[in-house]
Amino acid sequence: MKKDVLIRYERVCKSFGPKVVLKDLDLEVYRGEAFCIMGPSGCGKSVTIRHIIGLLKPDSGLVEVDGHDMSKIGAEDLRKLRARMGYVFQEAALLNSLSAGENVALPLRETTRMGDAEIREKVNAKLALVKVPDVYNKMPNELSGGMKKRVGLARALITDPEIVLYDEPTAGLDPEISASINDLMRELASELHVTSVIVTHHVGTVRTVADRVGMLDNGKLNYVGTADEFLHSTEPRLVRFLGAKLD
**Which residues partner with 20 through β-bridges?**
15
- 3-class state of residue 65 by DSSP: strand
The closest alpha carbon to 92, from 173, 164, 151, belongs to: 151
CA 9 to centroid of chain Cα atoms: 16
* Distance, CA of 195 to CA of 32 (rounded, Å): 4
Sheet of strand 85-88: strand arrangement: 85-88, 163-167, 195-200, 34-38, 212-217, 220-226
Q: Set out the domains of the chain in order of their start, with CATH numbers.
A: 5-84+163-246 (3.40.50.300), 94-160 (no CATH)
**10-residue mean pLDDT series, the chain (247 residues):** 88 95 96 92 90 95 96 94 90 90 94 92 94 94 91 92 92 85 87 91 90 92 90 81 61
The model's pTM is 0.90
